[in-house]
């Protein structure tokens, strides 16, 4: 019998340690806000503002 099974390693590498809800500073207005995770660097005000202004 071949016992060739690889030991499954916990694959946490895809998850950045900062990819979690935390308090961050808005990149736009420097307001401290509750971030939903990695990629969420703007406060609600700036996010809604940027998404509403779709002008090229």
Summarize as ranges the residues that interact with Zn ion (CB under 5 A).
26, 28-29, 31, 43, 46
- How far apart are the C-alpha atoms of 33 and 17, rounded to whole Å? 18
DSSP state of 49: H
- How far apart are the C-alpha atoms of 7 and 52, rounded to whole Å? 49
Nearer to Zn ion, 19 or 40 (CB): 40
Rounded to the nearest whole angstrom, what is the least distance from the CB of residue 28 to Zn ion in the complex?
4
Nearer to Zn ion, 15 or 45 (CB): 45
Structure tokens at 46: 């700036």
Nearer to Zn ion, 15 or 44 (CB): 44
């Amino acid at each position: 019998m071949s016992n060739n099974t690889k030991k499954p390693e916990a694959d946490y590498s895809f998850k950045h340690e900062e990819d979690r809800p935390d308090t961050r500073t808005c990149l736009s207005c420097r307001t401290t806000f509750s971030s939903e995770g990695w990629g969420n660097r703007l406060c609600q005000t700036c996010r809604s503002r940027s998404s509403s202004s779709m002008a090229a």
